[in-house]
């Protein structure tokens, strides 16, 4: 997708005459190049579902979900190399907070901290913004929460969200089912997430236990990541619903978006 | 295949008692505990640091610290403060699997700068020297005559022995007393018991 903006896009500290920072927008575009991740929550649980990519049949599928502490973790989309950097930073913040305050770091606090850092990188010469967007899910005494972060440094508190390649289809699914999420049981919540993720698949692809990661956290349940064999039961339940028509919007969108370069982003 | 650790719960300063209810033995991971004597402030600090490091290990390696790894880590932590020591006299006790998959109990004793050694039996703290000779005799069967009874160390015997040494120490040491905290560690985890001790 050609996005040549001319002379105002060389570094992040240059404004365009239209009042935009093109480098920040390009960074947000990098998020769209990564494979989709979906986040959603009910009153008691938050779920992250991620589509993992692999370079080729020899490589393992790339990790998409990171656990930060007992009660919080994130899924990311975008430049793969940036994710562990953010992971190590946030993990240390969680450890320090727990050490000093004797309790778990609340997710909103963490997100604000990260976004302040992300914003600084949009205002400094010689660097670049983060190339990843996160969906951060956490549980604390106030309940469960889901946040989206952006290379621009904006944080969004969400009921449900999807980011990454072809994520619009997932967002459409989530918008359609938003009313059902608040009171959903945990198994239903996971199924909603998987159905939303399924809508982001390129043609001919399917969800398998090698390319799907699921993470669940709840008020009474620590953050746990499910991969490989442990997602089998969830995928089996998804498959069992043979009914359900794929939305026509989805098929149109699939036909429109070409398969993007999969080397750097996942 | 199991380890036992006992401690007392009195915190004193000079001739005063600051608390009768201070737990000196805490868990690290599922099958390991650390007991600490010495400066209480440093004990608390050290335990927090050790807990944090154990968590980092778990995140980095996807599995909890083994007993011998915890012991090593503690040694390094203590030595890193070689020139401003953490005044904590530690004992690390736990069970771990050997290369054949058998669960073995281990006790590690330390000095304040991290020198450590695995021994069958160890005691530390003010009254450590009061307790150790009795343990040497009854656990390691040291200094027993050829005809003396060598009672094998079962769970009941071990717990009984710990209670006895705590009581003995309480009788003679002014800083020991109030409650005894007895911890049993085996492959299934850690269990705790409390016994009353003399409060004078």
Most confident option among A6-10, A144-148, B103-107: A144-148
Which residue, among A227, A157, A235, has the nearest Cα to A201 in the 3D structure? A235
Is the CB of A16 inside 8 Å of chain B's CB atoms?
no
Contacts of A67 in chain B (CB under 8 A): 59
Name the residue in chain B with its Cα closest to that of A91. Answer: B56
Give the pLDDT score at A21.
94
Is the CB of B55 inside 8 Å of chain A's CB atoms?
yes
pLDDT, average across residues A147-154: 96
Q: Does the pTM exceed 0.90?
A: no
Is the CB of B48 inside 8 Å of chain A's CB atoms?
yes
User: Is the predicted ipTM greater than 0.90, yes or no?
Assistant: no
Interface of A with B in 87-106 (CB under 8 A): 91, 95, 98-99
Instruction: Name, in order, each residue with C-beta under 8 angstroms of B22's C-beta and a sequence gap of 6 or more.
Output: B9, B10, B11, B40
Give tens-digit pLDDT for B116-147. Answer: 999 999 999 889 999 999 999 999 999 999 99
Give tens-digit pLDDT for A36-58. Answer: 999 999 999 999 999 999 989 89
CB B171 within 8 A of CB B163: no
Give the pLDDT score at A167.
96
Give the pLDDT score at A245.
40
Give the pLDDT score at A112.
96
pLDDT above 70 for A259: no
Instruction: Name, in order, each residue with C-beta under 8 angstroms of B56's C-beta and a sequence gap of 6 or more.
Output: A91, A95
pLDDT above 60 for B22: yes
Chain B closest-CA separation from residue A218 CA (Å): 20
Q: Which of A107-116, A174-183, B33-42, B125-134 has the lowest mean pLDDT?
A: B125-134
Chain A closest-CA separation from residue B29 CA (Å): 14
Name the percent of chain A lying above pLDDT 70: 89
Contacts of A87 in chain B (CB under 8 A): none
Give tens-digit pLDDT for B48-74. Answer: 999 999 999 999 998 999 999 999 999
Please give the Cα distance from A37 to B120 (Å, whole number): 53
Is the CB of B52 inside 8 Å of chain A's CB atoms?
yes
């Amino acid at each position: 997708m050609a996005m040549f903006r001319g002379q105002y896009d060389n570094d992040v500290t240059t404004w365009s005459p239209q009042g935009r920072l093109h480098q920040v927008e390009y960074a947000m575009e990098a998020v769209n190049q990564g494979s989709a991740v979906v986040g959603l929550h009910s009153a008691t649980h938050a779920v992250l579902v991620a589509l993992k990519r692999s370079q080729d049949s020899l490589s393992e599928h790339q990790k998409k979900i990171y656990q930060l502490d007992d009660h919080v973790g994130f899924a990311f989309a975008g430049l793969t190399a940036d994710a562990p950097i953010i992971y190590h930073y946030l993990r240390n913040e969680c450890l320090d907070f727990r050490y000093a305050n004797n309790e778990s770091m609340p997710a909103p606090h963490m997100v604000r901290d990260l976004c302040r850092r992300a914003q600084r990188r949009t205002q400094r010469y010689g660097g670049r913004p983060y190339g990843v967007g996160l969906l951060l899910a956490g549980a604390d005494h106030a309940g469960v929460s889901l946040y989206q972060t952006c290379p621009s440094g904006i944080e969004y508190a969400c009921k449900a969200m999807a980011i990454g390649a072809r994520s619009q289809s997932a967002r459409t699914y989530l918008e359609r089912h938003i009313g059902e999420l608040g009171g959903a049981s945990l198994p239903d919540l996971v199924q909603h997430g998987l159905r939303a993720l399924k809508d982001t698949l390129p043609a001919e692809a399917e969800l398998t236990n090698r390319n799907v990661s699921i993470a669940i956290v709840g008020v009474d349940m620590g953050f746990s990541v499910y991969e490989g064999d442990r997602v089998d039961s969830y995928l089996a339940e998804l498959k069992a619903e043979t009914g359900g028509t794929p939305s026509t919007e989805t098929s149109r969108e699939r036909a429109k978006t070409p398969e993007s370069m999969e080397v750097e982003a996942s | 295949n199991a380890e036992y650790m006992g401690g007392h719960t009195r915190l004193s300063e000079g001739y005063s008692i600051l608390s009768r209810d201070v737990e000196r033995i805490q868990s690290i991971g599922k099958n390991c505990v650390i007991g600490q004597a010495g400066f209480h402030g440093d004990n608390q600090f050290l335990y927090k640091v050790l807990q944090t490091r154990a968590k980092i290990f778990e995140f980095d390696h996807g599995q909890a610290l083994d007993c011998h790894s915890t012991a090593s880590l503690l040694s390094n932590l203590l030595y890193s403060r070689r020139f401003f020591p953490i005044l904590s006299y530690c004992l690390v006790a736990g069970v771990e699997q050997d290369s054949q998959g058998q669960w073995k109990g281990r006790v590690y004793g330390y000095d304040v700068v991290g020198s450590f050694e695995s021994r069958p039996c160890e005691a530390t703290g003010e009254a450590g020297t009061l307790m150790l000779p009795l343990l040497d005799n009854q656990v390691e069967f040291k200094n027993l005559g050829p005809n003396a009874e060598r009672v094998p160390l079962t769970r009941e015997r071990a717990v009984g022995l710990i209670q006895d040494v705590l009581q003995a120490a309480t009788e003679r040491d002014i800083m020991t007393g109030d409650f005894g905290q007895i911890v049993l560690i085996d492959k299934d985890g850690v269990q705790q018991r409390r016994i009353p001790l003399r409060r004078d």
